[in-house]
Structure 1
Amino acid sequence: MNKETIWLAIGFLGQALFSARFLVQWLKSEKEKKSVFPIAFWYFSIAGGITLLAYAIYRQDPVFIVGQAAGLFIYFRNLYFVIHEYKNLKAQ
């Protein structure tokens, strides 16, 4: 495998991880019969976002880099809120 093929595989892996978050969210929402964002949604968002950011940096695409970096901030912040809420509920 050459370098380009490896980075292409990383890009597709990142896209697969990022897309999996929608499948996870959809299945959980169907089960709950309401719109739900399970914690796995945020983990898939972060994993896919980091992988796609690495790919964007490799490709030196500033638009893609800014988009993924901004998204990662939001995903980490939402994960923080979920974990913080869970800890507060457990403490009660």
Structure 2
Amino acid sequence: MSILIFCIGLLAQACFSARILIQWFLSEKKHEVISPTLFWVFSLIGSYLMFYYGWLRNDFSIIVGQFISFYIYIGNLRLKGVWRRIPVLFRILLAVTPLLAAIGTLQDSSHFVENFLKNEDIPVWLIVFGTAGQFIFTFRFIYQWIYSSRKQVSALPPTFWVISLVGSCMIVIYGVLRHDPILILGQSFGFLSYIRNLMIGHKSQKIKE
């Protein structure tokens, strides 16, 4: 792994770690699980960087996971009324970059298959396992988006954290098998936060009852 690729991945994980720390700190302060705006801002930046990290590493599972969650982050920023405050040109750049990359990939499907699905460095079973882990980890945001859309407010419900734990475990295993320190460090960092958010949510629910 080149130093440049490693730095991009490390910066992406730094953004993801920052969002977790901010959300955790503010939730502890309010004694309930909250969904702060900065959580989604750092999520969007981290996802943008992680998308390119996966692309540079020819890692299909990373790309799929980031592509799906990227637009959910934008959706949550819209719910919070923040997305419209971003300059129009910058919004367009953020929104179209993953789409343009996907279109470029589809135009050269043989190159895509050779580099991602037939990567000699990653056996097919490992690609399937890693992709499954990314899908589960990403599904937490699909669930979160459906939940938030119904409530018309950005929220992080208990099931979000349960799915986070399951998906994160699978990605850590994938990272170990892939010898990818970026994935291992990034996912391992979130474990304590996921568990703690479940505890905070359970406690605040009991108080409300």
TM range (shorter): 0.7 to 0.9
User: For residues 10-89 of structure 1, what are the structure 2 equivalents within 5 Å?
Assistant: 10-83=8-81
Aligned equivalents of 1:58, 1:82: Cα separation in 2: 32
Q: Count how many residue pairs are aligned between Structure 1 and Structure 2.
A: 82
The superposition leaves residues 40-63 of structure 1 with CA deviations (integer Å, 9 ceiling, x where unpaired) of: 000010011111111011112111
After TM superposition, the score normalised by the length of structure 1 is: 0.83
Aligned equivalents of 1:63, 1:11: Cα separation in 2: 14
Q: How far is the alpha carbon of 1:6 from its aligned partner?
A: 1.1
Aligned equivalents of 2:17, 2:51: Cα separation in 1: 15
Q: Secondary structure at the match of 1:36?
A: coil
Aligned equivalents of 2:7, 2:66: Cα separation in 1: 18
The runs of 5 or more residues in structure 2 that have no matched partner are 83-209
Aligned equivalents of 2:61, 2:16: Cα separation in 1: 18
Give aligned-pair identity as a percent: 39
Q: Secondary structure at the match of 1:83?
A: coil
After TM superposition, the score normalised by the length of structure 2 is: 0.38
Which residue is 1:4 aligned to? 2
Structure having the higher Rg: 2
Aligned equivalents of 1:23, 1:69: Cα separation in 2: 23
